[in-house]
Chains A and B, each alone.
Chain A
Amino acid sequence: MRPASEEELSAAIRAATEPLAVRGGGTRSAPPEGPVIETGALTGIRLYEPGALTLVAGAGTPLSEVETALAREGQRLAFEPMDHRPLLGTKGEPTLGGVAAANVSGPRRIQAGAARDFLLGVRFVDGAGQIVKNGGRVMKNVTGYDLVKLLAGSRGRLGVLTEVALKVLPVPETSATLVLTGLDDQGAVAAMSRALGSPYEVSGAAHLPDRGACCLRIEGFESSVAYRLKALAALFPEAGQEPQTDPEASAALWREIRDAQPLAAAEGDVWRLSVKPSDGPEVARRLGAKAHFYDWGGGLVWAALRAGEDPRPALSGLGGHATLVRAAPGGPARPPALHPEPEPLAALSRGIAAKFDPRGIFAQAEAA
């Protein structure tokens, strides 16, 4: 099914008698079994006001279309959504709704915020076929409950997004990366903490152990980037330093990090663990991963594990959560892809899902 309007979508959901799979661009998973609802016809940029930093578009709008429109005005999605295709080897076009529904955020999450922080409003159709809106198109809005956040990252469990409103930001004049070399994991995370705790507005902090590269990104006006890069470098007199001042090369490096490319060729399952940054190295040690790297100043650990291996015991006593992003083909049964919540939180989430989707029409989304 490929509804062309909210009303058609609503009718299709009302008429459904069995669970449906919802598909945006299909870049994050193999085609599901059973009936599928595609959002690909709910497209188009409906409003874009560069002077107000706002964009409203149909949920099925390809991300690339949005990014092209923004680039024309020198703006962008500051939360830097990951492109899953290189890691998963999938095709298709990521959609805006897919990005919002999975709260997909890249390296700049550590400074600018996640997709959920840039989502101003949503329209969606719930499991009963009700058309619901929440939030709006303005940057400050506390009118009623913030269901926008609840929908961001709900992965289709509560409803099918039909329209999203986003806050966008200007693309800075230039960017550069200070690469620190010769640091072990612990040293790198300490360095990233120091950089993120400096006044220089570091907008990316990642460590690639295989390359021995601890990467710190600065963005802004040219004179400002030059100044901050120097000031930042002065914080680390002991470390080896390779400043990357070519904006193109710097951008390419951060695309690789954003898309988890360092693990694209790794064998096994790929997991993403969100932890307290200073716990990152300990988590990686406990995992004993075949390959791993850090983003978010150490707070995001990307790890390639043996197929079927459960990383969650490595979080014991530390907190945080783990998500399975890529399961190697075949192999043994996997632990749940999404992090199981402890009670009574799990009961609250189940309760909310039961309210928004009383018939379990989107129950499949749980596993996706």
Chain B
Amino acid sequence: MEMPTPDRSVLSRKEEIVARLRAVLPAEAVIDELSETRAYECDALTAYRCPPLAAVLPASTEEVSAVLKVCHEMGVPVVPRGSGTSLAGGALPTADCVILGVARMNEVLETDYENRFIRLQTGRTNLSVTGAVEAEDFFYAPDPSSQLACAIAGNIAMNSGGAHCLKYGVTTNNLLGVTMVLMDGSVVEIGGAHLDAGGLDLLGVICGSEGQLGVVTEATLRILRNPEGARPVLMGFASNEVAGACVSDIIKAGVLPVAIEFMDRPCIRACEAFAKAGYPDCEALLIVEVEGSEPEIDHQLGLITEIARRHDPVELREARDAEEAGRIWLGRKSAFGAMGQINDYMCLDGTIPVSELPRVLTRIGEMSKDYGLEVANVFHAGDGNMHPLILFNANEPGELEKCEALGADILRLCVEVGGCLTGEHGVGIEKRDLMTAQYDPADLEAQMAVKDVFDPAWLLNPAKVFPLAVSEARRSVPIAAE
């Protein structure tokens, strides 16, 4: 993946830049030794690495503002960073950038059960948001698989989703307000404990803007009361087509599960070998989870299994207790780990219309043969968000490139059938150059126009999201000297 040539005029002023950052932050919050900046050289897209010029770890909105003012004045690019779990290279540095990490800012500022929100600093990890309210039987709904590590900052920037978003929505549907620092250091408050915007929905465009519009330092999130209970059912089918038809029938029947997860045979086998969850050996597996009181769960699962029976399942297993429920989820939750055991893998994230599921899986199977790389599929079937995992050997010269080419072909297929390049991981650098497959020049121009307003000098995370050739003119605007 190509990255812009670092700005020599920035590199040559490193000492001065670091000195100015030290003047506005405590000494230990500015990191510039290569041995330490290496800790920030990549995110979870580990194939790409580059130590930044420096990294800063501010502890407050004021400190973030001070840092951005300095970088703005000196024309230094800034890459915001939460926990660095992006799979798209969203937090990948360039050699001429300052990494602005919000990890130190992890305080809960306000919890309000009456009005059902929590306000916090965005460096807080996703799981610890629920951790802060679970004693009162509340939770924060978006639950990316990386929730133990990833920060709300990154969740907002990527508009992250999770297994339960079929019912509860993704980050943007659960975000009420932010405090954000613009590149020039000014601080804006958007939204809050009330609903919807009085004017333009700026909050809506900030969520998912991949750190390109401002640095989000505080957030107001919607919290929900825990359901009385939840229980999954596992269903095995003889083909992907049949499993796909079953998903569609469940949705049409008016049951709204919290999650419908899908695994294909290569994935089932790998998970079974790794986690020994007792999955049947079949072509396709669905895990469907519903919520409510015991009788309500019984009723919904009754409807779901009735629908499943019409599709001749090879296996139908309802969890009778928490232990069995845990085992049903065990394999799915360890899918990524299982894949990591057998191979290097690349995780894709395209979304397709649910109705295209069987056709797309067949096509992916064919492409996988053509490329000679195995692909395992695990995904959120209720909303069509696929996670094809391409297995490859990183030590074999040329395999990474081959894997990337297959990945690009699969994502183009997603777009072709009416879907999109990314459902929850974001564009970052990974899908940047594929954006033209989904969007026409006018579509990209409209998006970039928004960045022009928030960050006229294109200093915030500038080499991401838009193909480099498309953003070239904007990124190379000389910064007016002081």
Contacts and interface: CB of A to CB of B under 8 A. Distances in A.
Given A51-B249, A348-B453, A145 B201 contact: no
Nearest to A126: B446
A197 B111 CA distance: 13
Contacts of A71: none
Given A138-B419, A224-B299, A145 B209 contact: yes
B198 A321 contact: yes
Interface of A: 49-54, 73-74, 103, 105, 109-110, 113-114, 116-117, 126, 130-134, 136-150, 152-154, 157-158, 169-173, 190, 193, 196-199, 220-221, 223-224, 227, 274-278, 296, 299-300, 319-323, 338-339, 341, 344-346, 348-349, 351-353, 355-356
Contacts of B426: 142
Contacts of A278: 114-115
Nearest to A346: B199
A144 B447 contact: yes
Contacts of A170: 251-256
Interface in B421-456: 421-427, 431, 435, 438-440, 442-447, 449-454
B280 interface: no
B23 to A, nearest CB: 25
A53 B251 contact: yes
B241 to A, nearest CB: 14
Contacts, number: 251
A274 B198 contact: yes
Nearest to B161: A140
B358 interface: no
A199 B454 contact: no
Nearest to A138: B351
Contact of B445 (A130, A319, A346): A130
Nearest to A159: B446
Interface stretch (B65-73, B74-82, B167-175, B315-323): B167-175
B122 interface: no
A173 B303 CA distance: 13
Contacts of B255: 170
A158 B450 CA distance: 12
B158 A142 contact: yes
Interface of B: 113-116, 138, 158-159, 161, 165, 169-170, 172-173, 182, 186, 188-190, 192-205, 207-209, 225-228, 248-249, 251-256, 292-293, 295-296, 299-300, 351-355, 380, 383-385, 418-427, 431, 435, 438-440, 442-447, 449-454, 465
B190 A345 contact: yes
A137 B418 contact: yes
Nearest to B352: A138
A196 B195 CA distance: 15
B420 to A, nearest CB: 5
B449 A157 contact: no
Contacts of B292: 224
Nearest to B186: A344
A142 B115 contact: no
B225 A152 contact: no
B354 A227 contact: no
Given A52-B384, A132-B443, A146 B204 contact: yes
B427 A143 contact: yes
A275 B194 contact: yes
A117 B299 contact: no
Given A130-B442, A138-B353, A146-B205, A199 B249 contact: no
B198 A296 contact: no
A353 B446 CA distance: 11
22 contacts: A49-B354, A50-B251, A51-B355, A53-B251, A54-B353, A132-B446, A133-B439, A138-B351, A138-B418, A140-B170, A140-B385, A147-B450, A153-B196, A197-B138, A223-B296, A299-B194, A321-B198, A323-B198, A339-B199, A351-B452, A352-B449, A356-B446
Contact of B354 (A51, A130, A149): A51
Contact of B439 (A50, A144, A197, A221): A144
Nearest to A345: B188
A13 B172 CA distance: 32
Nearest to A189: B114
The 7 closest A-B pairs by CB, nearest first: A149-B204, A321-B198, A339-B198, A51-B248, A170-B254, A140-B423, A351-B453
A197 B248 CA distance: 32
Contact of B419 (A136, A147, A152, A169): A136
A146 B159 contact: yes
Contacts of A73: 252
Contacts of B438: 136, 143-144
B382 to A, nearest CB: 8
